[in-house]
Amino acid sequence: MISQPVWQIGKVPVDTNKVFYSGAGIDRPSIPKICDRFGLEIMLKPIGESYAISRWEQIQKAIISIFDLRSMTGPDLAGVTYELGIALSIGKPMVVLVSEDQVLPFDIDINPVVISADVKMKMQLPSH
């Protein structure tokens, strides 16, 4: 092999109750409330470890990823979209949240969920 990946894939089992969250709005009550309603737990950002490797493992472990692009700018937006790209490249199911009138800074084949300031967010999980 000419090169070897820095991070390994497939060594982290998926936890069907874990949600990977990336964005600034985790303190907004709607996201934790929706996760609680469906018995899902948002993974906390790692502390005291290699941040990049820990987030990589969290993306693999999560059953779904939420990328909250509301009020994100500059380096913060770059970090969230970087993690979104990783999740997209490994085929992780995801939800992308945006504000009204917000334009995505890239083109992906995922319809974002528009969150209105005056309307409560309602999310339906797909039935299987």
Give residue 38's pLDDT.
Answer: 92
Strand partners, 66: 21, 95
pLDDT at 9: 63
**pTM as predicted:** 0.80
Lookup: tokens for 107: 């083109």
- The amino acid sitting at 63 is I
Averaged pLDDT of the chain: 82
Has domain 15-115 been given CATH number 3.30.200.20? Answer: no
pLDDT tens per residue across span 101-124? 888 878 888 888 888 765 444 444
pLDDT at residue 96 is higher than 80: yes
3-state secondary structure of 62: strand
Distance CA 92, CA 63 (A): 8
Q: Could you tell me which residue, 15 or 51, shows the higher pLDDT?
A: 15
Residue boundaries of the structural domains of the chain: 15-115
Give the full edge-to-edge strand order of the sheet including 94-99: 41-42, 15-23, 62-68, 94-99, 113-115
Q: What is the spatial distance between Cα 33 and Cα 53, in angstroms, rounded to a whole number?
A: 28
Rg (CA), the chain: 15
pLDDT for 120 equals 47
CA distance from start to end of the chain: 40
Q: How far apart are CA 95 and CA 66, in angstroms?
A: 5
Task: Place 31 in a pLDDT band, splitting at 50, 70 and 90.
Answer: confident
* Structure confidence at residue 126 as a pLDDT band (50, 70, 90): very low
Please state, in angstroms and rounded to a whole number, the distance separating the CA atoms of residues 33 and 47: 24
